[in-house]
Amino acid sequence: MFGVVRRRVARGGGSSAPILKAVRPGVSASRVSSAPAAEILLGARGVGYVRNYSHVIFPGCSIGSRPIREVVTSIQPATNLQIWSRTFSSENGDFVEAVVPFMGESITDGTLATFLKNPGDTVAADEPIAQIETDKVTIDVTSPEAGVIKEFVAKEGETVEPGTKIAVISKSGEGVAHVAPSEKIPEKAASKPSPAEKTSDEKPKAKVESAPVVEKPKSPSTPPPKRSATEPQLPPKDRERRVPMTRLRKRVATRLKDSQNTFALLTTFNEVDMTNLMKLRSDYKDAFVEKHGVKLGLMSGFVKAAVSGLQNQPIINAVIDGDDIIYRDYIDISIAVGTPKGLVVPVIRNAEKMNFAEIEKEINTLAKKANDGSISIDEMAGGSFTISNGGVYGSLISTPIINPPQSAILGMHSIVSRPMVVGGNVVPRPMMYIALTYDHRLIDGREAVFFLRRIKDVVEDPRRLLLDI
């Protein structure tokens, strides 16, 4: 019966060091050879236990009744050990990667819309080099360090996620091929045949042309089929352009169609005499700008009127959630803003706590961010009621669509001078049609009409807000 001797390597037993040791230094040969070698624990990576003393563990080397020293001596020269190492793009960390940033809690991916730079361009730290188009906003991919763009890894039109590598940037600019306009000339020149090639190509053609051409009898051509009188005359395809929809446009289309499919949409109308609100703005516009640094517009008056209406009819500020109705004790007014890239709806938070000046400042800030594309996801999330002003584009009357998951939307329209009966006399008045589209599953016509009537009363006589009547 042979005894079992286990020796663990004192150094690197569980590490990745490729040094193979079976006997620690300083152990006498007689002590080691006193027991036959039946099982050896090897410390190199990828080598396990040898459980059979007669098993061949390496080519040309077997364990018998020899001492362990002889076994180890015979193993070392016959074994080729490989050391695995990780490759890096640069030993001194010259290359850095520009990746897609975090885009918001509700956004998991986006489309790489366009590159703002080219390979070989110099960029500064935090300078935008590409734009990611999401369902709601456009997000910039910035350079993490100052340097030169080495290459772009992703392509325009690809769907990317947060953390996806977009470009490789060299901080020192070494090893970056700069694309010059002169480099493209040889390619064009190479594509054109040389004069010698033209001469050789023209000679065989001359021989072919000199041969007599035998004309074949022409077959009677069939006349083109005549179109029926009812067949539509379609324009040629070369007069059409096909452009893919942006993610923002597809998102807006999906949400509005879901709104029509889900809500029981109904719209009620009224008209507002804008005389008093316009006179208020005209009388105090200079003093308002001097004190608050912002112009007094009509939107702040309608926001204050909407707040008053929502406080009088809380059901319009509520929403359906399954079999429950959620009543909100706050009023966040969403303002629809049309931008060159599509419709966005930033939110004025806690509008019930704001005065005219604070509302005007917030509207100007959000509208500016929406137009230059710097608005964030958080500034558009939520909202309990929406106001859409189509009057700035000249709309006379419309039926707006609810912005899900809200339950109603107020539509403003253009101001037109119309003849109205005031005190028994027909006089011209600046009039505006207003529309309220609401979810009839939750809101009855009575509440909708009362709400719209409250809007009319407050806009026509803003003093009601001071007296709370």
The token pair at 259 is: 């709104």
pLDDT digits (tens, 9 = 90+) for 155-185: 888 888 888 888 898 887 765 655 544 344 4
Give the confidence band of 224 by pLDDT, cuts at 50, 70, 90.
low
Give the confidence band of 250 by pLDDT, cuts at 50, 70, 90.
confident
Q: Residue 260, class by beta-carbon neighbours within 10 Å (0-12 exposed, 13-18 middle, 19+ buried)?
A: exposed
Bigger pLDDT: 282 vs 186: 282
Provide the β-strand partners of residue 319: 326
The token pair at 439 is: 């979810």
Inter-residue contact 343 to 371 (CB < 8 Å): no
CA distance 135 to 150: 30
Bigger pLDDT: 55 vs 241: 241
For residue 464, give the DSSP letter: H
Q: What confidence score (pLDDT) does residue 323 get?
A: 93
Q: What confidence score (pLDDT) does residue 76 get?
A: 46
What mean pLDDT comes out for the span 51-71?
A: 46
Active site residues: 440, 444
Give the confidence band of 222 by pLDDT, cuts at 50, 70, 90.
low
Strands 385-389 and 408-412: parallel
Bigger pLDDT: 267 vs 104: 267
Bigger pLDDT: 113 vs 327: 327
Report, in angstroms and rounded to the nearest whole number, the Rg of the chain calculated over CA atoms.
Answer: 40
Bigger pLDDT: 118 vs 183: 118
Give the confidence band of 413 by pLDDT, cuts at 50, 70, 90.
very high
Q: What's the start-to-end Cα distance of the chain, in Å?
A: 106
Q: What confidence score (pLDDT) does residue 188 get?
A: 41
Please determine, for residue 254, whether its predicted confidence score (pLDDT) is greater than 80. Answer: yes
The token pair at 317 is: 């500020």
pLDDT digits (tens, 9 = 90+) for 346-405: 999 999 999 999 999 999 999 998 888 888 888 888 899 999 999 999 999 999 999 999
Please determine, for residue 84, whether its predicted confidence score (pLDDT) is greater than 70. Answer: no
Where helices occur in 54-120 by DSSP H, the ranges are 68-75
Where helices occur in 293-409 by DSSP H, the ranges are 299-312, 356-372
Average pLDDT, the chain: 76
The token pair at 265 is: 């949409």
Q: What confidence score (pLDDT) does residue 71 get?
A: 46
Q: What confidence score (pLDDT) does residue 111 get?
A: 86
- Name the most confidently modeled range: 127-131, 140-144, 328-332: 328-332
Bigger pLDDT: 205 vs 328: 328
CA distance 159 to 245: 14
Bigger pLDDT: 184 vs 317: 317
Q: What confidence score (pLDDT) does residue 240 get?
A: 84
The token pair at 23 is: 């006997």
Element (H, E) at 250: helix 247-262
Q: What confidence score (pLDDT) does residue 9 get?
A: 40
Q: What confidence score (pLDDT) does residue 73 get?
A: 46
Give the confidence band of 220 by pLDDT, cuts at 50, 70, 90.
low
Please determine, for residue 343, whether its predicted confidence score (pLDDT) is greater than 70. Answer: yes
Please determine, for residue 92, whether its predicted confidence score (pLDDT) is greater than 60. Answer: no
CA distance 469 to 466: 8
Lowest mean pLDDT among 140-144, 155-159, 193-197, 402-406: 193-197
Inter-residue contact 136 to 380 (CB < 8 Å): yes
Q: What confidence score (pLDDT) does residue 78 get?
A: 42
Where helices occur in 373-462 by DSSP H, the ranges are 445-460
Inter-residue contact 295 to 288 (CB < 8 Å): yes
Q: What confidence score (pLDDT) does residue 398 get?
A: 94
Q: Which residues contact 333 (CB under 8 A, 6 or more apart)?
A: 303, 306, 307, 347, 348, 351, 383, 384, 385, 386, 387
Provide the β-strand partners of residue 166: none
CA distance 38 to 222: 96
Q: What confidence score (pLDDT) does residue 198 get?
A: 47
